[in-house]
Structure 1
Amino acid sequence: MKITAHVFYNGKYRKGTVHIERDRIIDFNEENINPEYVLTEGFVNAHTHIGDSFIKEVPRTGIKELVGPGGFKQRMLESADDKMILKGMRESIRLMQREDIRAFFDFRESGIKGLNIIKRALNDGMEGVILTRPSGPVYDEKEIEYLLENSSGIGLSSISDYDPDFISKVARKTKEKGRIFSIHASERIREDIDFILDLKPDFLVHMHRATDDDLRKVSRAGIPVVVAPRSALFFGTFVDFSRFIRNDVRIALGTDNAMLAVPSIRMEMNLSYYLGLDPVEALKAGTIAMDRFLRKEKSLLLFRAGPGEIVKNPYLRPVKRLNISDGII
């Protein structure tokens, strides 16, 4: 199939004629034309917690009380039936698949038990990058070995939630095994960025309370930061994307806890645009920002303008439209 399209090709957004076969770009000729389509890679949800999908109502409270150790979420997970948790996970996975999400990164609580539940929920239609965590704050070599052998890596909550020696041990073991290590950082309060970077994380999550100097250090280290605007808004935080852009931080988008926000990356892209993120940057954050961690071949999405629709920025369409099927061919 040959089409005229705006397309991200060889690191830049261009326009021209694209030759596509079996969901792959075979050839591209850059031309000064008015394309009918916008061609993007499939969406990626870079940060989820779908284990809490079964929780349909949450109290209006702070981050620590809601999702911290011993908080509302942990109590709900500990008291829930495995079948209930599994059903909620599958619902979230189906929603992401309907939205053409090609991969998601899940921070899986509850140790080995939590890992085994989500592995039952996965299917072949979408790549799941499962980042587990130990069941408690005491280092258990056998548990860590099992988690790392059966997942993509470790995703911890925050350096504020653990003893520094424990975190360091977990991070070292994860890197020794060649797995992904990630951690939430400076979400509720500013945290020690030097200690965090010493852990050699592959990516960070949130960074709302980071200083500009913190962000510059993260940028120099080449570490992406995943931001979840809807979850942040629930806790009263408006993400200032201009700070990330100004400090040259690579941004990815995620949806965070499913009990707070359904795992729709298009809704995150939409809100990001209204919070000041340029449509092209929002599209990058929702599609290609985490490609280095993915194994499966990329999928492609086509968006077509509506009848008579003329826009100066063609990338507004996939960013602004919330309906899952709107504009997708």
Structure 2
Amino acid sequence: MHVEGTVLTGRDFEPIEGRVVVDDGRIEAVERVETDSTDIVCPAFVNAHTHIGDSIAKEAGAGLSLDELVAPPDGLKHRLLRETPDEEKVAAMRRSLRFMRATGTAACIEFREGGVPGVEAFERARDGLDIEAVVLGRESRDAMDASDGFGASGARDGDFAALRRATREAGKRFGIHAGERDPDDVDAALNLDPDFLVHMVHATDAQLDRVAREETPVVVCPRSNLVTNVGVPPIAALAARTTVALGTDNVMLDSPSMFREMEFAAKLSDVSARDVLRMATVNGAAIAGLDYGVVAAGKRAKLLVLDGDSDNLAGVRDPVRAVVRRAGQADVKRVLL
């Protein structure tokens, strides 16, 4: 099979008129050919930080502080998760996963509350859907054993050294929130040698330089940070130092739309559209350990096809900027996963 149009190729998303040839789930070739198609073909997205379980409480908690909303164990989200029947949580998560797929997301990195039952509930929600997930259990060693690794709430919330050692021994991923409220937990998080950090809103210059030296990737979630009134991440400063990916964070606070996250990040920060698209695709894939995120021969075929002749996209002069700053769900023509 193949898809045609303006194809955004490689890590720099060079636009070419051509087609992508797919065989057995892999990109066999990217060819320059004349085509009548006005479609825009780009990599599908990787949402590098989600809390999908919070789909049960969309737009709850208006006016609450970050700690009142999400701090374990008694923040609003944790209370609601304990009170909600499992099947209701599974159904709500499944709807969010369907929405993510419909808006071009191929995979997510999920920080999964609820221990082993929480991990199992997420997998039931994902059953039969072709969206992939790197699920990081929380709250226990058993949850880490039952999932793809461990997602720590933050160094101020407990001692995660033993769990970090366990993930390393098991060859699994360890991610941790850091610098969301203030810089006080950043160095302690870095001392754990995590596979990635999440947020880093309040990192100091010295901490940013340490991130660069230690080559620690960072996932930023600017919409969530603004909603919780903690500030905005220094996206450009981080991108100048390390691999940066985008995540939509808590479904209670924001829709899990990478279109919205990209547009917000691009218009908020002094980074190029190409840099933002990398954050939403190949950088997130690298953090997740997934072999896609670029349109190139040999990569797994995870592709998003946009209707370049939609009322929204017709007349676009720069397709990369259009994908990042303008496109949305109504422009999605096809998602190949």
Please give the alpha-carbon distance, in whole angstroms, between the structure 1 residues aligned to 2:5 and 2:331: 19
Instruction: Give the equivalent residue in structure 1 for 2:63.
Output: 60
Shift of 1:170: 1.1
- Per the normalisation by structure 1, the TM-score is 0.86
Partner of 1:316: 321
Q: Residue 134 of structure 2 aligns with which residue?
A: 129
Secondary structure of 2:46's partner?
A: strand
Structure 2: gaps (5+ residues) = 292-299
Q: SS at 1:53's partner residue?
A: helix
92 and 286 in structure 1: CA distance in 2 versus 1, 3 angstrom threshold: same
Matched to 2:329, the amino acid is I
For residues 1-329 of structure 1, what are the structure 2 equivalents within 5 Å? 1=2, 3=4, 5-9=6-10, 11-16=11-16, 17-22=18-23, 24-28=26-30, 36-56=38-58, 57-69=60-72, 70-123=74-127, 124-134=129-139, 144=141, 146-162=142-158, 166-236=159-229, 237-245=231-239, 247-276=240-269, 277-292=271-286, 293-295=288-290, 297-306=300-309, 309-326=314-331, 328-329=333-334
Deviations 1:223-278 (A, max 9, x none): 22111111111022233322223x32221111111111121111101111211332
Q: State the 1:83 CA deviation.
A: 1.9
Deviations 1:281-311 (A, max 9, x none): 1111111112232447341123343379444
Give the drift of 1:189. 1.1
**What percent of counterpart residues are identical?**
33
| TM superposition score normalised by structure 2 | 0.84
1:60, CA displacement in angstroms? 1.2
Q: What is the distance in 1 between the residues matched to 2:206 and 2:39?
A: 40
Q: Which residue of 2 aligns with 1:137?
A: none
**Is 1:239–1:275's contact at 8 Å kept on the other side of the alignment?**
no
Separation in 2 of the partners of 1:325 and 1:96? 13
| Cα 1:306/1:196, change in 2 over 3 Å | same
Amino acid at match of 1:288: V
Q: SS at 1:25's partner residue?
A: strand
Question: RMSD in angstroms over aligned alpha carbons?
Answer: 2.6
Q: Distance in 1 between matches of 2:333 and 2:234?
A: 29
Q: Which deviates more from structure 2 when the two are superposed, residues 124-133 or residues 180-189?
A: 124-133
Amino acid in structure 1 at the alignment position of 2:6: A
Residues 191-249 of structure 1, C-alpha deviation per residue, up to 9 Å, x if partnerless?
3444322212111100000012212221232222111111111022233322223x322
Matched to 1:25, the amino acid is I
Structure 1, unmatched stretches of 5+, are 135-142
Q: Within 1, Cα distance between the matches of 2:102 and 2:332?
A: 14
Moved more, 295-304 or 81-90: 295-304
